[in-house]
Amino acid sequence: MKIGVLALQGAVAEHIRSIELAGAEGVAIKKVEELDEIQGLIIPGGESTTIGKLMRKYGFIDAIRAFSAAGKPIFGTCAGLIVLAKSIEGLDEPHLGLMDITVARNAFGRQRESFETDLPVKGIEEPIRAVFIRAPLIRSVASDVDVLSTYHDEIVTARQGHLLAASYHPELTDDYQLHQYFVDMVTSSLK
């Protein structure tokens, strides 16, 4: 099983390492046609506006929407969560607009307000180590979106069917439990 990491910006190598620790093959995705070779996709952190521009420039918007329409799992972390969202506070238009959530960018403050915490996540036995860097926040979710975790009563992890989103960077730690959760989602999607 191959899981791709969109390699336009962000911690691509770290996500690939976490995927491999979770027992799947991780590959960097740089061209649209490489989406045909994978069963799941991670959209990493970085800067959501830049990622959106690069996705448009290289033809990824329609390709990833088609990937999602085929029921293939997608996992967005930090800026990747923003890219997945149907609604972004302060912006007229979403990037992919796939996940029925409203997000606020940089809701946890600037770089210097970054922090790490142990976060309980529904469906994962042990709390995961989460790194929040200029992290977005999920302000609201549709009725069919499952809230998997909150931090100070704010939503930071959610799932809607084959879509998974986290406000933080699970790949910047040695804890690969959330990647294991995503690998399990991809495995289930193949049955």
Tens digits of residue pLDDT in 176-191: 999 999 999 999 999 8
pLDDT tens column, 37-48 = 999 999 998 888
Selecting among 15, 162, 169, 179, the annotated active-site residue is 169
pLDDT value for 135: 85
> Helix, strand or coil for residue 79?
helix
Q: Tell me the CA end-to-end span of the chain in Å, nearest whole number.
A: 12
User: 64-107, pLDDT tens digit by residue?
Assistant: 999 999 999 999 999 999 999 999 998 889 999 999 999 998 76
On the question of pLDDT at 112 being above 70, the answer is no
With 0.75 as the threshold, say if the pTM is over it. yes
Higher pLDDT, 11 or 70: 70
Catalytic one of 14, 78, 95, 162: 78
Distance, CA of 162 to CA of 1 (rounded, Å): 16
Ordered by where they begin, the domains of the chain are 2-189 (3.40.50.880)
CB of 40 closer than 8 Å to CB of 3: yes
What is the pLDDT at residue 108? 63
Model confidence over 126-162: pLDDT tens digits? 999 999 988 899 999 999 999 999 999 999 999 999 9
Query: So what's the pLDDT on residue 9?
Result: 87
Whether 125 is catalytic: no
Amino acid of residue 4: G
Whether 15 is catalytic is no
For residues 49 and 152, give the distance between their C-alpha atoms in angstroms, rounded to a whole number.
Answer: 27
Confidence of residue 175 (pLDDT cuts 50, 70, 90): very high
Catalytic residue among 14, 15, 162, 171: 171
Percentage of the chain modeled with pLDDT above 90: 84
- At 10 the pLDDT is 84
For residue 122, pLDDT beyond 70: yes
Q: What mean pLDDT value characterizes the chain?
A: 93
Q: Are 132 and 109 in contact (CB under 8 A)?
A: no
Q: How far apart are CA 82 and CA 112, in angstroms?
A: 21
**Which tokens is 126 given?**
């042990």
Q: Is 171 a catalytic residue?
A: yes
